[in-house]
Homo-oligomer: A and B are copies of this chain.
Amino acid sequence: MRKAVVLLSGGLDSTTVLALAQATGYDCYTISFDYGQRHNFELEAAAAIAAQAAVAAHKVIRLDLGAIGGSALTDPDIAVPQAAQHSDVASGIPVTYVPARNTVFLSLALGWAEVLGAQDIFIGVNAVDYSGYPDCRPAFIEAFEHVANLATKAGVEGLQMTIHTPLIAMSKGEIIQAGSELGIDYGRTVSCYRADEAGRACGRCDACHLRTAGFEQAGLPDPTPYLS
């Protein structure tokens, strides 16, 4: 079996990616990041999901992104807005955007892949029902894959590193449908930017909004525990 490193946040998308990677026959090594995010319940969800999926190994990397600031997800002085009030006027990029987050996460996944001798990395970015983050676009992923091939021993030795984005062209409804067919219990995943300590979702932020609409599109009951 080929080894793959899978970025696992504990959310709906990355949990689906893990199931898809395993269904394709990869031996999966999951990686999560403790980066000062507000929604820390995610990390517990990720560990539980990794354990249930019987991954080869699950790793949590501590990383002080809060020291850099600039995001409502890591800076307590920036409020997480409700859906449809969220954009930066100039760029359309929301305040929940964490500067360079996917670049940082992919870099660390790349480092682990190199140590494992894995040439495949899976990430649950999505360019359809997404929050408008620049580092979720296909052009960004292609550019990072090029970096991955130049930055590593594998690249020097002529092996190909691949960044897999199985969700990139899927709607949230299609993602939920695909995952449900693979037996995922989405009640265990957390998407909300403002979830409480028990993992209950606010139902109002951008992430909740996208998720709720996704279950409607998929024609499936929404198992998310909501606060209200």
Most buried by B among A59, A91, A100, A140: A100
- Please tell me if the beta carbons of B111 and A70 are within 8 angstroms of each other in the complex: yes
Q: Is A104 an interface residue (CB 8 A)?
A: yes
Main SS class of interface, A: helix
Say how far A100's CB is from chain B's closest CB, in angstroms: 4
**Closest residue to A137 on the B side, CB-wise?**
B150
Please give the count of copies of this chain that the complex contains: 2
Most buried by B among A67, A103, A112, A151: A151
Q: Is A115 an interface residue (CB 8 A)?
A: yes
- Residues of chain A at the chain B interface (Cβ within 8 Å): 59-65, 67-70, 88, 90-93, 97-104, 106-108, 110-112, 114-115, 134-135, 137, 139-140, 143-144, 146-148, 150-153, 155-157
* C-alpha spacing A100/B114, complex, angstroms: 8
* C-alpha spacing A151/B100, complex, angstroms: 6
- Contacting residues, chain B, for A147 (C-beta < 8 A): 103, 140, 143-144, 146-147
Q: Of B63, B102, B110, B150, which one neighbours A151 at CB under 8 angstroms?
A: B102
* Selected A-B contacts with CB under 8 Å, 28 pairs: A59-B68, A62-B63, A62-B64, A62-B67, A68-B111, A68-B112, A70-B114, A70-B115, A88-B153, A90-B157, A91-B153, A91-B156, A97-B153, A98-B111, A99-B114, A99-B152, A99-B153, A101-B111, A102-B151, A103-B110, A103-B111, A103-B148, A134-B150, A134-B152, A134-B155, A135-B150, A143-B147, A143-B151
